[in-house]
């Protein structure tokens, strides 16, 4: 029996497995510049975040209809459930779809066809987090939030992803203020490739409750102390860090040192179709290679629920 866990850092577009990409390409008459799944797999060798993002955005071309988004989410939920995931807070990137002429309603309603039935079909409760692409403008982010307003009953929060360096959190102050005014929860990727200062800025300027990745906090002891004191959760993604070369090898991953420092760490899969594993695979990897004991693994699983938005639902309704 895999450990019951919550997944808090998962891009639904990053769950697009090669088989499904080809199936959807055929269904929608979209030509992919790869001969077959084997040929596509040879493209899964990344130098850094940007080299991954190039493929991630390219393959999204196959996602066109509500049914495509439903099939994508159902495939993820089935895999996650098999690996012990009981709750998933799922990122999506609407700007990447709007730019291709796919409407916000198609994306959200399509995902909801799977998410709305996930508890009965997969035994997994879900929430949706709309991410802004930080390499797009602040105006575009604000327009995206406005386009999402008719669907806010299906969206729990906002996040910030895509190319980090050169796009500091403060660029999105206004849109995060607007999101807070709408009652949305706030998270942001920070300190994946970007410097520790981006983590501080995400907390102080954007008012985020969780930091996605946050790995580079370890370069700043005063920041680590603050994150520990304020119990700010970090959603770490060990296999992603290896594939995107944020760490040299899994054995070099700072997760054990981060837990020893008292940080509220969680283990997640990020883009499992691209990085070699789902949530349970990430747990297996840190157990095997980093030698984390049963007690540490249970701590990580417990943290995932503590850091989730589940326990705050009641509080949110009262606000
Ligand atoms: N980092 C930033 N943006 C992303 C990622 C990531 O790991 N995955 C999908 N978009
Ligand atoms: Zn991510």
State yes or no: pLDDT of 282 exceeds 60. Answer: yes
Helices 294-306, 279-290: crossing angle, 10 deg rounding? 140
User: Is the Cβ atom of 14 under 6 angstroms away from ligand 1?
Assistant: yes
In this predicted structure, what is the pLDDT of residue 312? 53
User: Is the Cβ atom of 269 under 6 angstroms away from ligand 1?
Assistant: no
Q: Considering 192, 311, 314, 315, which one is annotated as catalytic?
A: 192
Instruction: Tell which atom from ligand 1 comes closest to the C-alpha of 164.
Output: 2
Query: H helices within the chain, ranges in order?
Result: 18-28, 37-41, 49-59, 66-82, 94-98, 104-115, 118-122, 138-148, 173-181, 196-204, 221-229, 238-243, 255-260, 272-275, 279-290, 294-306, 313-318
- Residue 253 annotated as binding site: no
How confident is the model over 151-203, as pLDDT tens digits?
999 999 999 999 999 999 999 999 999 999 999 999 999 999 999 999 999 99
Nearest to 183 by CA among 214, 158, 212: 158
Q: What domains lie within the chain, and their CATH numbers?
A: 9-308 (3.20.20.140)
23 included as an active-site residue:
no
Instruction: Tell which atom from ligand 1 comes closest to the C-alpha of 193.
Output: 1
CA angle, 119 then 123 then 129, to 5°: 60
Q: What is the ipTM of this complex?
A: 0.96
| Cα 247 off chain centre by | 18
Ligand 1, from 131, 189, 275: best to mutate by most atoms within 8 Å of Cβ?
A: 189
User: Is the Cβ atom of 201 under 6 angstroms away from ligand 1?
Assistant: no
How confident is the model over 224-248, as pLDDT tens digits?
999 999 999 999 999 999 999 999 9
Radius of gyration of the chain (CA): 18
Secondary structure letter of residue 132 according to DSSP: E
Average pLDDT over residues 253-270: 98
- Residue 9 annotated as binding site: yes
């Amino acid at each position: 029996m895999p450990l019951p866990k919550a997944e808090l850092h998962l891009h639904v577009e990053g769950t697009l497995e090669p088989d499904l990409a080809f199936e959807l390409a055929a269904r929608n008459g979209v030509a992919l510049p790869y001969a077959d799944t084997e040929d596509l797999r040879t493209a899964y060798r990344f130098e850094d975040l940007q080299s991954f993002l190039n493929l991630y955005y390219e393959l999204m071309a196959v996602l066109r209809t509500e049914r495509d988004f439903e099939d994508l989410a159902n495939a993820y939920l089935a895999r996650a459930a098999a690996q012990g995931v009981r709750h998933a807070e799922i990122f999506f990137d609407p700007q990447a779809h709007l730019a291709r002429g796919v409407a916000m309603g198609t994306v959200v309603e399509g995902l909801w066809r799977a998410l709305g039935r996930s508890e009965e079909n997969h035994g997994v409760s879900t929430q949706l987090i709309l991410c802004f692409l930080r390499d797009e403008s602040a105006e575009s982010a604000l327009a995206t939030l406005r386009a999402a307003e008719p669907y806010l009953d299906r969206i729990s929060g906002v996040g910030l992803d895509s190319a980090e360096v050169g796009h500091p959190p403060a660029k999105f102050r206004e849109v995060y203020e607007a999101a807070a005014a709408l009652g949305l929860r706030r998270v942001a990727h920070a300190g994946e490739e970007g410097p520790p200062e981006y983590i501080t800025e995400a907390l102080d300027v954007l008012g985020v409750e969780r930091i996605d990745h946050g790995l580079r906090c370890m370069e700043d002891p005063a920041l680590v102390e603050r994150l520990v004191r304020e119990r700010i959760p970090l959603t770490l993604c060990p296999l992603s860090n290896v594939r995107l070369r944020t760490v040299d090898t899994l054995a070099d991953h700072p997760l054990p040192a981060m837990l020893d420092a008292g940080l509220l760490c969680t283990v997640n899969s990020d883009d499992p179709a691209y990085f070699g594993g789902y949530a349970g695979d990430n747990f297996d990897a840190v157990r095997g290679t980093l030698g984390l004991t049963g007690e540490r693994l249970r701590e990580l699983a417990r943290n995932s629920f503590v850091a989730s938005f589940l326990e705050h639902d009641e509080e949110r309704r009262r606000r």
